[in-house]
Each structure stands twice: as structure tokens, then as C-alpha cells.
Structure 1
């Protein structure tokens, strides 16, 4: 018997996953949405949604996070990876976007089972991020500074996937670069 999610669609092939990360206000949500809109079967998975689902007992991230804040961050990333895999299994390209930095990047990559998996790291210069943050209603910075997160990005995050300095790129140009240059981070054949 076939998979119930695709049983009525014999033409549905497994999809792919794009993980888009970067520091807060780097443009992840905007770029992920634009990428999803360019693809014929796509789903935009907002990682931060899983943080907002926690009502009682939420532990927020900060410069010196508690063990509980780290546990909740890992849970959030694990849930986003699982949802992305389910969309891909149903034949969609899932675009997951969230702040996934430092040692958590390879950790999350290990949780995403779908191949191909593309990792995109948006890395605009700190001055551009600060300007974007100043110009938007939603404020991402409070316990961190742009410079602190940029340091974590560049000093502690492994160089996996396609890193893009998007300082001087429009959203459309960024998506063009992703579609043109991104390569899977794992060999889909399993070799």
C-alpha cells in the first residue's frame, strides 16, 4: 500500500529542503517567502513559530542562555526539521528559516532527513543589519547586539552551504543567487 499523503498523486516525487539561516534581521523571512513563491510546490516553515507555541514556561534566548532556553531552542529546531521533512515527503520543497548559529547548524542539519538539503547562510554586513532593524516595526534585538550575533555567525558557525553577503543584493537578486549557486550539503545518493 502507498503512502497516504501521496497515494492520490502518483506524480508526486519527494521534495527538497532549503534551510535559510543568519542573524536576526538578516532577511531570512523575506528571502524564504520569495524563494517559496518562485517554486511550483513549496512550503515556508517559520522556525520561530515553534518558539511562540510555548505559552507557559517559555525560556527566552539571551547572551548567557539557561539550560532550559537551550533545550527549548533545540526543540524548536527539531520541530522545524520534522515539519520540513514531512512537507518534502509529500512532494513539496520546504523552505525552513530560523536563526541557527554555531554548533546548532550541524546539529539541525543532522535532524533534517530529506535529501537534497540546501543550506543558505545570509550574511549581510552588521551596519546593513542594524539599518534594517531600525527601519522595521518588529524589533529582534534586545538581549543581543547585531555585532554580538555577527561574531557568533562568523567565529562559531561552521562554513556549511552557500554563504551570501546580501548587503547590496535585492531580495530577487538573493533568490536568483540561491537558485543558481546552492548545492546540496549531502550527497543525495548517500555515497
Structure 2
């Protein structure tokens, strides 16, 4: 019997990785896919994923993540993905071949207030964490208006990690975050079309900067 896939996204500093790891552990058979790892697997020739020229690379990586996630879910493992996967990338999860047609997709956006997001992000100590305030702010703005997907947003501004996990777990269990086929094919507004996974909206990034967000 197949299981579900849960995409957990939002800006840097929103608590995606911590929440995803704990949520996955609540299921009897589960997998946690940390999306950043799939970029780290590129040994040479990688482009920072928030640069405009990274689009082709990011499309490839997202396709790999999708195949891994649905492969695990088709085998009965509830699969939680954490990473920056905006609505503009959901089309990768639109086509389902017969082998994974029964896999359901949940989509959750952790979105603290802008100031809280920046505070959390720039305070991270991991050596490869993205702590550039300009980049973090731009990425937050990309999740600031999700249109008909606003109902998938969880405001974690005042939440402790355990509360975020509880709220998310309850929402998944109640099927409040399920995506139908139409939602997976969200049309892009014109200002969203140019970039890749992160819309390529960073003006002057440090090209030697971190690859983990």
C-alpha cells in the first residue's frame, strides 16, 4: 500500500528541517528528504541554487527529488520533503505515472513574519547555512503572496518547535493541506517566470556563498 508525500517549505529560518525531521519520526514507516542534500550531491559544476543561471540545474535536481519521494511513498513510506519548493516548482509533482498514481501530496508552507524569519536565519551557526539578510528577505518575499495556496500557510512566528509539529501533524491528518491536480499546476505570474527554484531574484549574491538554505 502506498503512503503520502508531505512537502514542507518556506523561507530560510522558518524551521523546515527541524520540523520535517520530527514529523517524519511520528509515522511508523517514514523517510525525511532534506532537499539541500540533493544539491550537495553535485560534486563539480554546481551553481548556487538562488542564482538566475541555476534554473536548468534546479529543474534537474527537483525532478530527482520528486522521483525519490514518490518512489519511497509508493513503497509504503510516508515521505517528508523539506526545502524551498515554491508553487512555481509544483509542476514537477503534477505528472504521476501509474506506479505512483495513488500517492497523495500534502503541501505546507512555514512562514514566520519577515522580521522573525530574518532574525532566525541570520542567527544560525551551521557552517553552510544561508545567513545573508538580503537573500533571506528576498526569499521570504517569494512566499509572501501565494494566492489560492495561502490556505497552506502556517504562521510560526510565535510558535515553539513542538507546537509547529503538532499543528502541522494535525493539518496533514485532517487532509487540510492536500493538493489537487489544479494546485500542482499553479500558473506563474510574469514576475515569477525568469528564475529557477528560487526565481533567480538575488541581485548581487556572494557566488562563493552557502548552498544550504
Q: How does 1:33-112 map to 2 (within 5 A)?
A: 33-62=21-50, 65-66=52-53, 69-104=54-89, 106-110=90-94
What's the CA shift for 1:160? Answer: 6.2
2:142 to 128, 152, 159: 152
Aligned to 2:155: 165
C-alpha RMSD of the superposition: 2.2
TM-score (norm 2): 0.72
Q: Which has the higher contact order (CA 8 A, sep 6+)?
A: 2
Unmatched 5+ stretches in structure 2: 182-213
Question: Are 2:107 and 1:119 aligned?
Answer: yes
**Matches of 1:157 and 1:51, distance apart in 2:** 28
- Asked if 1 retains the 8 angstrom alpha-carbon contact of 2:113 and 2:155, the reply is yes
Corresponding residue SS for 1:103: helix
What's the CA shift for 1:144? Answer: 4.5
Unmatched 5+ stretches in structure 1: 1-12
**Matches of 1:75 and 1:141, distance apart in 2:** 25
TM-score (norm 1): 0.80
**Matches of 2:143 and 2:74, distance apart in 1:** 30
**Matches of 1:165 and 1:151, distance apart in 2:** 14
